Amino acid sequence: MRPILELLEKQGGAIWSLSPEDSVYQALEMLAECNVGALMVLQGDKLVGIFSERDYTRKIALAGKASKDTRVAEIMTTTVLSVSPKATTDECMALMSLKKIRHLPVVDGNTVLGMISIRDIMDEIIKDREETINQLQNYIAS
């Protein structure tokens, strides 16, 4: 199992984030622009929350609020689970499954390194399993 840091490095080090003072509408624009389902909410360099599509649908759309008049701080998820860059893909998958979350920030001490999604983890696990199968097939064939 590879450490999650390797997966982050493949992503190119992009840290997509916004401020708690940004409007929900601005957050939606950023989600679309970055083609992601969630963004980290940073106050300076400190991770203070996550804004996701779920937050929008459940706390804005279904509540009848206006996205241009609502601040991210009002609806973001503030209980943020994170992992260290040394965590493995299997550990991250287990945590995401247990807590029923789709996005997981990677934090080293107080330094935010990035965020991985369930899709990132699944792609990595599938790739790892395919490599194992190929190695076993080559071993059997030799």
How confident is the model over 44-63, as a mean pLDDT?
Answer: 93
According to the model, what pLDDT value does residue 77 have?
A: 95
How confident is the model over 59-83, as a mean pLDDT?
Answer: 93
Output the average pLDDT for the chain.
92
* pLDDT tens by residue, 16-30: 999 999 999 999 999
Q: Confidence band (pLDDT; 50, 70, 90) for 2?
A: confident
Are 57 and 83 in contact, with CB atoms under 8 Å apart? no
| CA distance linking residue 51 with residue 70, whole number of Å | 13
How confident is the model over 47-60, as a mean pLDDT?
Answer: 94
According to the model, what pLDDT value does residue 1 have?
A: 67
| CA distance linking residue 18 with residue 35, whole number of Å | 15
pTM: 0.84
End-to-end CA distance of the chain: 25
